[in-house]
Amino acid sequence: MDYRLLIARRYLATRRRVTLISVISGISIGGVALGVAALVVVLSVMNGFYDVVRDLLVSVDPHVRIEAVGGRGLEDPEGLVELASGVEGVVSATPYVEGKALLTAPEAPALNQVVTVRGVDPAALDSATAGAIRQGAFDLARREGPPGLVMGASLAARSGVQAGTQATPEGDVATAGTEVSLLSAPALERALVAYPFGLPSQQGFDVRGIYELEPAYDESHVFVGLEEGQRLFRMAGRVSGIDLRLTDLDDAAAVQDLLRQRLDPEQFSVLTWYDLQASLYGVMRLEKWAASAILVLIVVVAAFNIVGALTMTVIEKRRDLGVLQAMGASRKDIRRIFLLEGMLVGGIGTGIGLAVGLLICWVQGTFELVPLAEAGSFVIDSYPVAVRPFDVAVVVLVSITMCALAALYPATRAAQTEPARAVQEGA
């Protein structure tokens, strides 16, 4: 073993007696361990909430979306679907029509509300959306009577809307759902501009399904068939965009770059799931690192303890340092002894804190010991945790670096010891 490391370890702790310096060093190690453990746990909980929110939003948002610049609509949806489907990693490419409309119902006066209408092809829906039906079925087809419509559970419960049922082989009779009407902005504009003036035409629908995805989304979004959406918003032959689903969510940026190379950037805009909710994700990341910056203060306080402990060690071991230099140790070697001691404090404290933090995260993730307050109104029952190797590496690097920086002043002071005077004063 390097003699400098051996001396640094000996100065850090001795088996003979407990001194004030060893007590302060122990407090420093404990402070570093506490700070590292707190950082690992808080970062993991923040990551867990980030993943929960992301999964909720991605269940209704696509992994990648292609839109027309300026909101004009896409003229050739079939060609774009074929192009996108040929990209490696793309599972499905689905055209959609989306816009705002006034939703009304004579049987449910409380339903009058402006909603986001989404025209889709039911056959191309992902399993998460299609499996979210709580009443009725995801039936948007036009049969005898008005076409089908599917609305959110929050909106249906507030307004008293009921979904119809289909006839079953067991002999159950089909029942009609609540009839609703949609009034789009293009229809209202056409009624006001056309001569002679008249009442705007409203398109009727039969509520055939009620879904439950996320309360805020359920309250403001309804689904209709793709052709009905094109008719409602006067977009014959055009669509609002194309939604892509990938085999791996993390490949969204790569697929985005590839599509941007193949599409004219002046006509098409390619967005990832992060771009669609960039403000929300940005705020969550800012909260994560702001909380981390506050918790780093624990490590800073521990680093000040390291400065005090090593400075006291320099004063106590002044004669020993003089002897070492008289025996041939250079000032650089003396400085390295105390730098190594500071890094030992940081390494031991970081190791203990890392082990404790990861253990707490594993226990919470496995046994869910800490529940969420008012968990009944949320989609999870306990605090989620998600350990990121990058975050752990940053915490370890910051902790050891700060401890090493804290040892610079005592190490520099120790290196300035004059051998003759130190031996004479200690004699």
User: Cα separation of 333 and 323, whole Å?
Assistant: 13
What is the pTM for the complete model shown?
Answer: 0.84
Domain shared by 264 and 289, yes or no: no
pLDDT tens-digit series, residues 62-94:
999 999 998 788 999 999 999 999 999 999 999
Domain shared by 117 and 138, yes or no: yes
Domain shared by 33 and 68, yes or no: no
Domain shared by 422 and 285, yes or no: yes
User: What's the half-sphere exposure (Cβ side, CA atoms, 13 Å) at 138?
Assistant: 21
Task: Find the mean pLDDT for residues 20-33.
Answer: 86
Q: What would the 3-class secondary structure string for 205-256 be?
A: EEEEEEECCCHHHHCCEEEEEHHHHHHHCCCCCCECEEEEEECCHHHHHHHH
User: Cα separation of 251 and 313, whole Å?
Assistant: 54
Q: What is the pLDDT of residue 101?
A: 94
275, 299, 334 — which closes off a domain?
A: 275
For residue 420, is pLDDT > 80?
no
Query: Over the chain, what is the mean pLDDT?
Result: 87
pLDDT tens-digit series, residues 115-164:
999 999 877 776 667 678 889 888 888 877 789 999 999 999 988 899 98
Residue 248's contacts (CB-CB under 8 Å, 6 or more residues apart) are 89
Band (333; pLDDT cuts 50, 70, 90): very high
Range of the domain at 305: 3-56+281-426
Domain shared by 52 and 116, yes or no: no
pLDDT tens-digit series, residues 290-320:
999 999 999 999 888 899 888 888 888 888 8
Residue carrying structure tokens 């700070």 = 35
Domain shared by 266 and 118, yes or no: yes
Task: Find the mean pLDDT for residues 215-235.
Answer: 91
Q: What is the pLDDT of residue 192?
A: 65
275, 296, 317 — which closes off a domain?
A: 275
- Alpha-helical regions (H) of 59-214: 77-85, 127-130, 153-159, 185-193
Task: Specify the number of domains making up the chain.
Answer: 2
Q: What is the pLDDT of residue 170?
A: 57
Domain shared by 37 and 77, yes or no: no
Q: What is the pLDDT of residue 112?
A: 87
Band (167; pLDDT cuts 50, 70, 90): low
Domain shared by 301 and 380, yes or no: yes
Higher pLDDT, residue 130 or 110: 110
Which amino acid belongs to residue 421? R
For residue 114, is pLDDT > 80?
yes
Domain shared by 188 and 229, yes or no: yes
Domain shared by 236 and 324, yes or no: no
Domain shared by 305 and 342, yes or no: yes
251, 275, 299 — which closes off a domain?
A: 275
Q: What is the pLDDT of residue 314?
A: 87
Domain shared by 253 and 331, yes or no: no
